[in-house]
Chains A and B, each alone.
Chain A
Amino acid sequence: MRCGTARRRISDDLDGALAARRRARLDAHLRTCPACRTYREALGRMQAGVLKPAAPPAEFWAGFERRLQAKLDGAGEGRRPAIGSLVILRRWAWAAGAAVLLAGGVLWYALFRPVMPVTGTWAAYDDVLDPIVRAAEANPELAARIDGEIRASIEEMVPARDEEGALLPAADPLFWEGLSDDELEAVVRGLENETGRGGPK
């Protein structure tokens, strides 16, 4: 077993999610790997130090329930009714009807669709754009507004940046989900360097 695999198994073991067969292999690895033994001890200490938010006092819950009841009083109109078997049947009937209509539409389109020349589409775009471009050339205010709209639409597509303009990949959940073990190690080393400087005095 490789150390990378062993460390994931250690995490599973702490959560009670390690099958007996895998634990036997993990134990065998730990007997021969001091680094992984140290890792397991560290995670064990960390797990023991995890704090759980304390439950608020009893009077808090009385207030919590009172406020919730007041909100529920005003929530009656938006409440969805219970779904019975009749409703489910009705939904299926609607879905079947919609599927038949859709199939008919597709068949009609396949048989009778109008054929349009490709050049016609481009000519239509030119017809629309030309007057706008000419108007913008003649009117600096209009040109500035169009420029602003284009820039705003580009900014919407660009990922978030921090105050210094650097990209923030960490803000994207997919960045973390997609990290390989090696990439995660690089992040971990960076964090260790960072916390190593600010550790306990």
Chain B
Amino acid sequence: MDEHPDAPLVEEARHGSREAFTALVRRHERRIYSLALRMAGNAADADDLAQEVFLTAWRAIGSFRSGSSFYTWLYRIAVNASLTFLKKRGREKGRAPFDENLAVSVAGRGPASGPERDSAARELSARIDEAVAALPAHFRASFALVVDQGLSHAEAARVLGCSENTVSWRMHKARKLLRARVKPYLEEVRP
């Protein structure tokens, strides 16, 4: 990823250009919304969160240090807003219901060998989605940044304000917890 592709727009937005900020919103809104949806678990809250993220960014962009990475800064606002939101709503105990209409498969899945296998794969994906929603919030944030958004451990560490080693541990622990929750379904899709 280019280190500072947003720099010219950010510089204009820092000095009050709404047009430049709107261009930045268009560039990043999908990724921020996707992160918010993973963290919040439903579309309505994700929408509110994404709006809040950009509103906070507009208010604070004057204090953004040129030379830093804008998307890292924006992701950091999004993660902090999501964690505050989850804490406020006390939803850590609960789990968002899985909505099949909001999800599509991403990674390269192996060729299906029949309708039963397809059905088992869909069931597995649904269970994984539920299990991700049930992860502790900081693990879920790491998972969302690394797996959903494709950030490296180093980039995720910059967003989360921790070390690469911490991100590595969180991913390892998150995967162990996920595997434990979906183990019976993993057996069903064994090649």
A residues bordering B, Cβ < 8 Å?
Answer: 7-8, 11-12, 14-17, 39, 42-43, 45-56, 61, 64-65, 67-69, 71-72, 75, 78-83, 162, 168, 170-171, 173, 176-177, 179, 184, 187-189, 191-192, 195-196, 198-200
What is the CB-to-nearest-CB distance from B112 to chain A, in angstroms, rounded to a whole number? Answer: 12
Q: Which of chain A's residues have a CB closer than 8 A to the CB of B109?
A: 48-49
> Interface residues of A: mostly helix, strand, loop or mixed?
helix
Chain A nearest Cβ from B46, distance in angstroms: 8
Q: Number of contacting residues on B, CB 8 A?
A: 80
CB neighbours of B59 from chain A (8 A): 75, 78-80
The number of A-B residue pairs with CB atoms under 8 Å apart is 188
From known contacts A42-B186, A72-B58, A82-B62, infer whether A176 and B104 are also in contact, taking CB-CB under 8 Å: no
Residues of A with C-beta under 8 A to B169: 8
A15 and B171 within 8 A (CB):
yes
Q: Which residue of B29, B126, B146, B175 is within 8 Å of A64 (Cβ)? A: B29
B55 within 8 A of A: yes
- Do the beta carbons of B139 and A49 come within 8 Å of each other? no
Contacts of A168 in B (CB 8 A): 93
Task: State whether A52 touches B34 (Cβ < 8 A).
Answer: yes
Once the chains bind, are A80 and B93 in contact (CB under 8 Å)? no
Q: Is B95 an interface residue (CB 8 A)?
A: no
Near A by CB (< 8 A), chain B positions 40-64 give 43, 46-47, 50-51, 54-55, 58-63
Q: Are A79 and B182 in contact (CB under 8 A)?
A: no
A-B contact pairs, 11 of them (CB 8 A): A8-B168, A46-B128, A49-B124, A49-B128, A52-B103, A53-B46, A80-B63, A82-B62, A173-B138, A177-B170, A188-B176
Query: Within 8 Å CB of A72, what residues of B?
Result: 18, 21, 54-55, 58
Contact B147 A50 (CB under 8 A): yes
**Chain B nearest CB: distance from A56 CB in Å?**
7
Judge whether B152 is part of the interface by a CB distance below 8 angstroms. Answer: yes
User: A99 → chain B, closest Cβ, in Å?
Assistant: 22
Min distance, Cβ A114 to any Cβ of chain B, angstroms: 43
- From B65, B105, B176, A51 is in contact (CB under 8 Å) with B105
Q: Which of A51, A55, A69 contacts B30 (CB 8 A)?
A: A55
**Other 13 A-B pairs with CB < 8 A, given A50-B132, A50-B148, A170-B93:** A7-B172, A46-B128, A48-B107, A51-B103, A51-B125, A65-B25, A68-B54, A80-B61, A80-B63, A83-B65, A188-B176, A195-B180, A195-B183
Q: What residues on A are CB-neighbors of B180 within 8 Å?
A: 187-189, 191-192, 195
Q: B102 — which chain A residues lie within 8 A by C-beta?
A: 53-54
A-side contacts of B148, CB under 8 Å: 50, 52-53
Q: Which residues on the A side are within 8 Å of B158 (C-beta)? A: none
Chain A residues with CB under 8 Å of B26's CB are 65
Please, which residues of chain B bring their CB within 8 A of the CB of A14?
175
Given contacts A17-B168, A75-B55, A200-B120, contact A11 B175 (CB under 8 A): yes
| A46-B179, A72-B18 known; A176 vs B139 contact (CB < 8 Å) | yes
Mark each residue of chain B from 73 to 110: 1 if its CB lies under 8 Å from any CB of chain A, else 0: 00000000000000000001100000000111111111
